[in-house]
Amino acid sequence: MRLHWILATIATAALWGAAGGAGARAQGLTPRDSTEKQVQILNTDRLSRGNVGDDPVQILEGHVRLVQDSTRLWANRVIRYLERDRVVLTGRVMIVERGDSLRADSIVYNTRIKEGRATGNVWLTDGDVDVYAPSAWYYANEKRTVFDRDVRLVDSLTVLRSKGGEYFSDEKRAEFYHDVVLDEDRTHLEADSVTYFRETEISIGRGRVFVQRIGGGEGVSESDSLSQSYLFGDYAFNDNRNGISNIVGDALLAQFRRDSTGVDTDTLLMRATRLDVFRKDSLQRLIAVDSVRVWQRKFAAVADSSVYDRIALEGRPLRESNRFYEEPMAWYQFYQITGDSLRATATAGSIDSLLVRGNAFAAQEDTTIERIHQLRGENLMGLFREDSLQSLRVWPQAEAIYYRSNDTGGVDGAVRASGDTILLQFANNELKLFKALSGTQNVMYPVALIPSPFELQGFRWQPERRPAMERLLDPERKTRLDAFRAAAGERDEP
């Protein structure tokens, strides 16, 4: 016969006090701790007493419902230790505390400090977020739950998994650690530890951070929706709702644009001390700070800092702009270009212009005669068509050194030219026109009279600084990236 909760409440003092011995007090309080708040029986099917080892206990069975202050407890069976602050709940156990509910196969609960050890199919929820694990420690007063293994948090489109972690219900904050994986809208994050704020959708990763960004969201071109971006670093801040990411500590970006078959059509690698990524509708902006190195199949650069913009609009070609600052140095084919600042733009993955402002200098290696052609001025503009150089223009105070070759492939002399503007035009990457405009002065040197060294002011030739893909991708990161991309069915161009 089920005992009504009113009868159970009336009987609480007598039954619990009698089972506790002559020194027990009414209302379930013991002489050891008179400040303990009363645990009341709201419902039970059977009520008895006995012993577990040397401990006297009270046993409640059936549809057990208990209450202690703001905490409510449900179970199929409850053992209350009468001389200790200990209650053991088993069978469809649930604890509800100020909006939180914790379910488990069993919970060992301390009634004085309101802390419990939950084991077996643990499930914590506040109605919006669900956290699952095999076991957990529950701290009711703090509204904090500690999961010691194989924890999984599910929050709308976000899933967070790790080997252990804590969840703070009032703050709506998760602290997960040991091999953490976070998946949310178009973002995959891995790290040694992760802090996740539910209300703002902000996540912070620490230690061996790896981030994957998929596509560009709504309103972007179909080809850019197939793009994949991978970020590596020591620390990562990601605001998914506002499209902001920061990667710090030997940060690396690997960006791949693919066709519909999964083959890469373009690759960008960027490495720096810090990378800041901003995503807004069709625009992706990447700011790289300190020791910046960039590699693409036809372009490479180094600088102190850079700003990369990627604009992808539905129905329009992809537009890219990469600006470099503080002694930038860039390479395109056999050209090395330096200046105070440098900007490269591309359309549909093909470079179309290169602009250098302040102390512009271009050097080209002629591998046939093993000499360096040189071009300098205040500014430089290079124009391209389908990645093929069409023209170079330098102005003002332009100077050039150009070597001539003979039919046998040897040096046939050199020319030093100057003018307000110098224009070079190319066809099939071969020089077809060299022209100095306004205030020109040309000096011809036969082979025997070519000065040594023969260099313009500001000359630097440092091909060893040119970034290479294999140097930017260290073995550990490359292995991780290759494995992840292979699992996703992506591959390099054939």
Of the candidates 440, 436, 367, which has an alpha carbon nearest to the alpha carbon of residue 405? 367
**What is the C-alpha separation between 443 and 291, in angstroms, rounded?**
40
pLDDT band for position 421 (cuts 50, 70, 90) = very high
- E-strand stretches of 220-328: 228-239, 244-258, 264-280, 283-296, 300-311, 319-325
* Dist. CA 416–CA 297, nearest whole Å: 33
Question: pLDDT tens digits for 149-207?
Answer: 999 999 888 899 999 999 999 999 999 999 999 998 778 899 999 999 988 989 999 99
Residues 6+ apart with CB under 8 A from 474: none
> Is the pLDDT score of 38 beyond 80?
no
How confident is residue 221, by pLDDT bands cut at 50, 70 and 90? Answer: very low
Residue 491 pLDDT greater than 80, yes or no: no
Q: What is the dihedral of CA 334, 336, 342, 348, to 10 degrees?
A: 10
Q: Give burial (CB, 10 Å; 0-12/13-18/19+) of 57.
A: buried
Name the pTM for this structure.
0.80
List the structure tokens of 387: 């990645």
In 3-state terms, what secondary structure has residue 232?
strand
What are the pLDDT digits (tens) for 106-139? 999 998 998 999 999 999 998 889 999 999 999 9
**Average confidence (pLDDT) over 227-250:** 90
pLDDT at 1: 38
- Non-local (6+) Cβ contacts of 241 within 8 A are 200, 201, 202
**Dihedral angle over CA of 245, 488, 233, 284, nearest 10:** -30
Using the 8-state DSSP alphabet, how is residue 38 labeled? P
